[in-house]
Structure 1
C-alpha cells in the first residue's frame, strides 16, 4: 500500500471487520487496467488492481501501438522501454492481385509493433516499481456496489474491497458492467479472421502490407525478433485451425509461401463492434473493452482503451482532490461523454476498414479499388494516415 496516499481511511464493509479503503480499485490487469494503475500510482494515489488470472497470458494478441497510445505509455513511464522492445511500422502499401493501389507513410512517430503480452509485462513491472503491492493476481471479482460514500468490490469468499472509486477494466465479458446492469448494443461492422505469427522471410522491413484481394484482405505486419504477423479475412473460421490452413490462404491469395513449421499456434477471431449504453454509474466507471468492443486488428481496441485511461486518470485525480465535499456522482460525467464519442468515431473507422477488406468481386471490386486509389493520393492520403494512426482519438 502506498504510504504517501492522502485519501486512505478505514470503513466497515458488509457489517464485517474493517477493510482498507483504497482511492481506486481497478478490476482487470490487462493492458488498459495496468496502464491506468501506473498513471494513478504515479500521482501518489492508493490504487489496487485485481486480476482473476494467476499468471499473465502467453498469446501475442494485439501488436499495434499508435502514436497517441505511445504518449499514454510515456505518461505511465514505460514509453522508452516500449520503443526499445518494439519495431517501427513506418509505411504501408495496399495491393490487389499484385497491383499497387496506394501507399502511406507515417510521418513523425511511427506505429510500434510489440506483442501485447510484452507490453503488459512492461506495464506490470512499472506498476511494481511505483506501487509494489498494487497488483493482486488470483482474485475473482463477483460483483460491485456503489455505497454512496464509497464503492465495494466483492470477491470470492464473500469478502469485499472498498475504494472511493471503482473502474471496470475487465474486458468484453465485464463482470463490473454486468453487475451494473449496463447493456451493450451491436453496431455496424463485423468479420471473421484467422491470424498467425511466423518467421519473416521477406525483405519488407518496417513495411505493413494490406492485400485487398477478391477473396478477402490479407495483412502482414512486422514483429520484433525477425517475425511477422499475418491476418486474413475469411467467410467462416474453420472448425479446426492448423498452420497449413493459413499457409494455404497466403499462397492462394497473394502468392506468398509461408512455412507452416515456422508458425506459432494460429488463432481465429471475430471482429465485432459493441458499445455500452453507459460508461459510468455513480462511483463506478468502465474503461477499454468493458465499455466498447471494436475490431482488434492493428491494436485499435487496446489503444482506444489507453486513451480512455488517460482521460479517466485526470477525472479520478480531480475527484479525489475535491475531498468529501465533491459531487462523487458527477466525477465521470465528462469522461463518459467524451470517450463514448471517441469510441463511436473509432467504430466508424473500423467498420469502414472491415468493409474495404471484405470478400468482393465484379464491378464492386473495381469500384472499391478505384476508391482506394483516390484515398491514397494527397490530400486524402494524409487524412487516411491520421485515421490509421488514431491521431484523432
Structure 2
C-alpha cells in the first residue's frame, strides 16, 4: 500500500502545475522542494498560447491574465531597417509574467486544492523502484525518512541528481550561445516584442507588466557586464536607450540544449528541465514543460493501462522537445554575429518568411504552436 498516489520532486513551475492538475482529479500528491526561501528572480517570463491553455486546465488562467502584460505582436529589424512586423491573433497572444509571480500564483492555486501538498526544505536523496510503487528517501535537518508512492515525478531541473542516479543518458543537442539579460523598471510604453538582428549579435526586448521591459543581448563570450556596459552595448548595436534599470543587475547565462534518452523508468517519470533543456529565451522551456505536464496528468490518472499511457507520454513529449530544440537552434543561429554577406542573406530570408501564409506559419512557430 503506497503512502500517496504521486510524489513530485521539485516545486518549480512544471512540478507545481502538475500537482494542481492531479489534485483537481482527487489524486493525493506530495511535492518535495529542497529550497526553503523565496526566489525573486524573474527568469522565464513568456507564456505562450499552449502554456496558457495548460493554465486554463488547472483553473488559473484568469489569475495570470489579471497580472500579465499582453503582447500585441513583434518586430524584427536589422541595422535600423524593418524586416518583419507580425501581429498576434486575438486569443493567441503571448503574455509576460515574472517567474516569481508565476511561482506564487501556482502555489496559491495548489494551496486551494491541496493545502499540505508542498513540503519545503526537503532534499530527496534517492528514488528507488519497488515493483508497482517507488520508494522516496528524503532528508531534512540530518534526519532521513522514507515514503512510498504509486508514481514519482522528477522535476528537479537541468542538473537533476535523480536522473543521474537512474543513469538516464543526457544527450547534448546542437544549439548553444551566451547571453546577458537585464530587466528595466521604467521603459517607454510598448506592447511589442522587438528583435534587433545586428552585426555583433541579436538584441531582444520584451515588455513586462507595468512599465518594465526585459533586454537580452547575444554575447561573443561569457562576458561579465555591469549595468552601464550593458546599456552601452544595447545603445551601440541599436541606438536605443534601455531606460531605468533601478537596482537590477545584468544576469549572464548560457542557452544550452540537452534531452534525456528516456522519460519513464518504471514508476519514475522525468518532467520539465529534468527531461529536456531548451533555450530559455521567451519561456520556451517552461511552456514546453506545462504542455508535457498536461499529458502526464492524463497518463497518471489512467486506470485501465497506465504503462501504455506513460509510454505515450514519453514518446510524444520527446518528439515535442526535439521540435522545440530545432526551432531554438534556428533562432539562435539567426541571432549570431555574422559577416556582411551572411547578414544580407539572412535579412532577405526573414523578409520572405514574414509574408502571407509563410508569415502565419512563422508566427505559429514563434508562439509554440504544434507542440
Q: Could you tell me the TM-score, scaled by structure 1's length?
A: 0.91
Question: Aligned with 2:349: secondary structure?
Answer: helix
Distance 1:200 1:95, change over 3 A: farther
1:188 is displaced (CA, Å) by 1.2
Q: Deviations over 1:37-61 (max 9, x none)?
A: 0000000110011101002311000
* Counterpart residue number, 1:194: 180
Preserved CA contact (<8 Å) 2:182 2:245: no
1:107 is displaced (CA, Å) by 0.4
1:263 is displaced (CA, Å) by 5.2
Please tell me whether residue 181 in structure 1 is matched to residue 167 in structure 2: yes
* Counterpart residue number, 2:368: 390
Please tell me whether residue 294 in structure 1 is matched to residue 294 in structure 2: no
Distance in structure 2 (CA, Å) of the matches to 1:23 and 1:146:
14
Question: Aligned with 1:332: secondary structure?
Answer: helix
Greater mean alpha carbon deviation, residues 54-63 or residues 308-317: 54-63
* Counterpart residue number, 2:106: 123
Please tell me whether residue 369 in structure 1 is matched to residue 351 in structure 2: no
Alignment of 1:49-64 (within 5 A): 49-64=31-46
* Counterpart residue number, 2:322: 344
* Counterpart residue number, 1:219: 204
Q: Deviations over 1:141-164 (max 9, x none)?
A: 111011002101111233212100
Please tell me whether residue 48 in structure 1 is matched to residue 30 in structure 2: yes
Distance in structure 2 (CA, Å) of the matches to 1:375 and 1:200:
33
Distance in structure 2 (CA, Å) of the matches to 1:90 and 1:178:
42
* Counterpart residue number, 2:299: 315
Question: Aligned with 1:213: secondary structure?
Answer: coil
Preserved CA contact (<8 Å) 1:215 1:253: yes
1:329 is displaced (CA, Å) by 4.7
What root-mean-square deviation, in Å, do the aligned CA atoms of Structure 1 and Structure 2 show?
A: 1.3
Q: Deviations over 1:98-139 (max 9, x none)?
A: 000011111032100001110110000000000001011000
* Counterpart residue number, 1:18: none
Q: Deviations over 1:341-372 (max 9, x none)?
A: 00000000000000000111221010011111
- Count residues in correspondence: 367
Distance in structure 1 (CA, Å) of the matches to 2:77 and 2:209:
24
Question: Aligned with 2:351: secondary structure?
Answer: helix
* Counterpart residue number, 1:272: 256
Q: Which runs of 5+ in 1 are unaligned?
A: 1-9, 12-20
Distance in structure 1 (CA, Å) of the matches to 2:158 and 2:245:
33
Q: Deviations over 1:302-343 (max 9, x none)?
A: 00000010000000000xx34xxx5x6545111000100000
Preserved CA contact (<8 Å) 2:45 2:99: yes
Greater mean alpha carbon deviation, residues 150-159 or residues 299-308: 150-159
* Counterpart residue number, 1:16: none
Q: Pick one of 241, 255, 279 that aligns with 1:257.
A: 241
Distance in structure 2 (CA, Å) of the matches to 1:184 and 1:337:
16
* Counterpart residue number, 1:134: 117
* Counterpart residue number, 2:17: 35
Question: Aligned with 1:54: secondary structure?
Answer: coil
Distance in structure 1 (CA, Å) of the matches to 2:170 and 2:309:
22
Question: Aligned with 1:189: secondary structure?
Answer: coil
1:241 is displaced (CA, Å) by 2.9
Distance in structure 2 (CA, Å) of the matches to 1:108 and 1:175:
42
1:382 is displaced (CA, Å) by 0.2
Preserved CA contact (<8 Å) 1:197 1:228: yes
Preserved CA contact (<8 Å) 1:98 1:254: yes
Question: Aligned with 2:156: secondary structure?
Answer: coil
Question: Aligned with 1:379: secondary structure?
Answer: helix
1:391 is displaced (CA, Å) by 1.4
Question: Aligned with 1:25: secondary structure?
Answer: strand
Distance in structure 1 (CA, Å) of the matches to 2:359 and 2:350:
10
* Counterpart residue number, 1:4: none
Alignment of 1:323-334 (within 5 A): 329-334=307-312
Question: Aligned with 1:303: secondary structure?
Answer: helix
Q: Deviations over 1:202-250 (max 9, x none)?
A: 23x2111000001000001100121000001001122x33211210111
Question: Aligned with 2:368: secondary structure?
Answer: coil
Please tell me whether residue 96 in structure 1 is matched to residue 74 in structure 2: no
1:278 is displaced (CA, Å) by 0.6
